Structure 1
């Protein structure tokens, strides 16, 4: 990923939609982050493979078993796949037929890939082992789409923020947030974030006048695909609808003209979403007997049913425990793993207060607040215990990209204020996010009873040589050396992030005040992790269990494409 090329600044723009003088154009840029930083980011995404076959990862394998069923048997149900490839979890059952309980987009998207792997492997039913199936499914359907999203995100942030701030936030989001964790899992959470941001990007270009009205077709298609990938993605789509409506209604034009444009935009977006919505309804009809019935009504495991009963699809009134744990739990709290997102909270107040803010920017402010409130309500009202063995609160993954602009506004305010101690604190929060989320993602399957994801699980595993499998280890570099190379790369990026944020404009190195504040913040965060790590039987048992199912333990070579019977 190079330093994000910018689009042609000569694109046509209607006078009514021209940005205000205070708004940067998409083509504005400076030298940008070093190419080595982008190269390391891409390498970590492409090379890392945290996977433990012994866990029989239900969220991932139930989707891939449906992919196998579609190719091998031509069926939506996975009964044959369960018989031939082994049992997996996260299933629904109706009339004796088993289906994934998840929305079906990823299962269908993996069909061409599986067919190609099957042909390469010899064309028979057992031609594709589990490890390459999971690896290539992640690579092409979750990793590469996220790298494409980072390119769009970088362009968007560069249009609104100073270049150094935009660069740092893109890198920190890529390696220090749930984006990394769920790009390296074949789950729909980061897919939802990618589709939501792609839809928002299309709406943004339409609002600026960079794209013609048919761009709303593109936005609608991404919105429809979002719901087909993850049902709770509808929450994010509602935020995009609000943004699209406000970008039109805030325009300085006669009301009848604005309403006419809003009607055309709604019609085009609906048309774009229609193929995905219809396909999803047909799938529900075929599998569960009604176009609006999802697999959650027929969960195979009765213990999971109460999570989805009551309220609306399991969403009830807020619970203080669910709120506190979703954001601040030492196990998987959003702000615990990615503390740089705390910068977005004061930054939200800065979005609409800019002098001469364009209508599009006012719409962004309203959308950002609405998404934060909506996702907060959701995570506080749904059962916290349903998050499962995951890194962080997984259903908040779609919210995170929309917190970056407000975080960037606040960083710019700090840079302009000259308060070097505050810059040092902010810099350490960004660097700590890269280290904390990155190290947790090296494991990426966090048992529910661990006290602290970092101190109770990830660091003990790394300290005993249990580093994640990677392309390097598959190519023959022994463990733990292969994993330590990637850990060193992660630490190097975290150091660059700190130095880039901690220095004020025009400085080459951070001031002593910034360095001192960063060290104090590091000590406070380290103390928090130390005090919340119990080192009890639950922590020790979790470490031993993960070691027992580790794909590439120290000193053991693991083949990537195992022959049948090995």
Structure 2
């Protein structure tokens, strides 16, 4: 009943590489402000984008200082896209307008957000495979890849999934060093990931603090003489600082050149006055917690983390399993403290920052860096559910994973979710898909029109979701009656929550109508670069 893992891997890669949810009419500010700086760096040799705005059109998410405009974002992706732009410019004839917007966005995403996430999935699978069975590790990795914010933000040229990749890459290096599987030079790799994280997204600093805690605990809890631990700690800190230094120094030089101070970011000079209150007060806009922001960030039918990715709910009881493991396995103590620290830190952040600032996005985007660190407790709980005498719990847990792939996958097919929609899945994605507005994709480039091409990819998504359910709920090749019925009941409850929270009112209908008007590849259309 289950497909071979190699076929599932091919399906996952195909969805990442072939899907291209992008619509130039939206003028996606978070993406284009970065790419306009890339244009400016190559075409004019400047950090400011004044001439790029004049030559290629206005974009949003800008900062202004002394009459010069810059992206309000951290600069790593803008600089990383320079080689991509350079190759496209040379291939297009080397003129000012040689690089069209659509291929620029496509190849920048493919090379700088999609491919790094595919590499991350390999690291996640190796990490989980050290603690849970192959079947659970496979299913959790696939669920993370297609049923979480990782999928959504790999298909957008934004820094959120880049931050997740870098944070987990740094953690992976620290983990291998802690297990004596890598030499201490792994601290250099971790430091480079930390520095790049800060250069990619300022709020990535939350994750960096967690990695510092994990690294320190990994050394302090080693069974070595105190002097050896102190020496290792100093060596690790020195190598990590050395690895981070180029990125941190480059970031500070950028701030100095653009905003007049090495510690002053673009958020202090926002061009749009309406956005400025979100970043004033506290630290970068982080104030006291707000119950509304907490509830909506995790449970909103529009973009709640647990609403779109209900499998992450398993991490909460999974922490109890991890805590029990930590009593008998010292290395699990560091994992426990890291997970708890990150969960508390990111929860505080999303609860204290303005919820209304999330923008037209899938899910609470600033929590993207947290998600991969919740996978270990999820995997441990799934392992326990599969081995329990009452197999019905395995069916419930499997349904949460399957629902995550369906809900997040369908939302990601749209990936630009207006703020006033009642429900991202049934209020926006499903009506668009039903009308034939399926995501633009590489198959369109090959002449296969929508909706046929997009529906084919939708069937691939549903096939993978079914495979995950069978993999987790079944016993070998058998899917028993108890886990099947329990899983169907759990899925019905989750779908019911989606159904009772959708309004199909004027806001929903207006959002669907607006997106239909700007859709890059409408029904019957194909795509051309």
TM-score with structure 2 setting the length: 0.99
- Return the match for 1:534 from 492, 503, 506: 503
- What is the rounded CA distance, in whole Å, between the counterparts of 2:216 and 2:527 in structure 1? 53
Given that 1:32 and 1:163 are in contact with CA atoms closer than 8 Å, whether structure 2 keeps it comes out as: no
Given that 1:48 and 1:469 are in contact with CA atoms closer than 8 Å, whether structure 2 keeps it comes out as: yes
Larger mean Cα displacement after TM superposition, 128-137 or 416-425:
416-425
Query: 1:98 aligns to what SS in structure 2?
Result: strand
Given that 2:326 and 2:336 are in contact with CA atoms closer than 8 Å, whether structure 1 keeps it comes out as: no
Aligned to 2:525: 556
Query: 1:352 aligns to what SS in structure 2?
Result: helix
Paired residues for 1:398-547 under 5 Å: 398-504=369-475, 507-547=476-516
- What is the rounded CA distance, in whole Å, between the counterparts of 1:33 and 1:400 in structure 2? 26
Query: 1:452 aligns to what SS in structure 2?
Result: coil
CA RMSD in angstroms, aligned pairs only? 1.1
- What is the rounded CA distance, in whole Å, between the counterparts of 2:110 and 2:38 in structure 1? 16
Given that 1:172 and 1:497 are in contact with CA atoms closer than 8 Å, whether structure 2 keeps it comes out as: yes
- Return the match for 1:167 from 135, 138, 141: 138
- What is the rounded CA distance, in whole Å, between the counterparts of 2:525 and 2:150 in structure 1? 30
Offset at residue 256 of structure 1 (A): 2.5
Given that 1:414 and 1:423 are in contact with CA atoms closer than 8 Å, whether structure 2 keeps it comes out as: yes
- What is the rounded CA distance, in whole Å, between the counterparts of 2:205 and 2:55 in structure 1? 35
Offset at residue 358 of structure 1 (A): 3.5
Aligned to 1:258: 229
Change (3 A) 1:532 1:311: same
1:310 aligns with 2:298: no
- Cα offsets for 1:4-55 (capped at 9, x unmatched): xxxxxxxxxxxxxxxxxxxxxxxxxxx9952110000000000000001100
- What is the rounded CA distance, in whole Å, between the counterparts of 2:326 and 2:309 in structure 1? 31
Offset at residue 519 of structure 1 (A): 1.3
Given that 2:11 and 2:460 are in contact with CA atoms closer than 8 Å, whether structure 1 keeps it comes out as: yes
Offset at residue 356 of structure 1 (A): 6.3
Given that 1:183 and 1:190 are in contact with CA atoms closer than 8 Å, whether structure 2 keeps it comes out as: yes
Offset at residue 61 of structure 1 (A): 0.1
Paired residues for 1:257-296 under 5 Å: 257-296=228-267
Paired residues for 1:36-115 under 5 Å: 36-115=7-86
Offset at residue 508 of structure 1 (A): 1.7
Offset at residue 74 of structure 1 (A): 0.2
Offset at residue 252 of structure 1 (A): 1.7
Count of residue correspondences: 528
Offset at residue 355 of structure 1 (A): 7.1
1:359 aligns with 2:330: yes
Query: 1:83 aligns to what SS in structure 2?
Result: helix
Given that 2:151 and 2:409 are in contact with CA atoms closer than 8 Å, whether structure 1 keeps it comes out as: yes
Structure in which a larger fraction of residues adopt helix: 2
Change (3 A) 1:339 1:209: same
- What is the rounded CA distance, in whole Å, between the counterparts of 1:500 and 1:349 in structure 2? 24
Query: 1:92 aligns to what SS in structure 2?
Result: strand
TM-score with structure 1 setting the length: 0.92
Given that 2:451 and 2:524 are in contact with CA atoms closer than 8 Å, whether structure 1 keeps it comes out as: yes
Change (3 A) 1:491 1:364: same
Offset at residue 418 of structure 1 (A): 2.2
- What is the rounded CA distance, in whole Å, between the counterparts of 1:79 and 1:414 in structure 2? 57
Larger mean Cα displacement after TM superposition, 170-179 or 246-255:
246-255
Paired residues for 1:190-229 under 5 Å: 190-229=161-200
Instruction: Give the gaps of 5 or more residues in structure 1.
Output: 1-30, 562-566
1:324 aligns with 2:295: yes
Offset at residue 359 of structure 1 (A): 2.9
Given that 1:71 and 1:111 are in contact with CA atoms closer than 8 Å, whether structure 2 keeps it comes out as: yes
Paired residues for 1:24-43 under 5 Å: 34-43=5-14
Query: 2:193 aligns to what SS in structure 1?
Result: helix
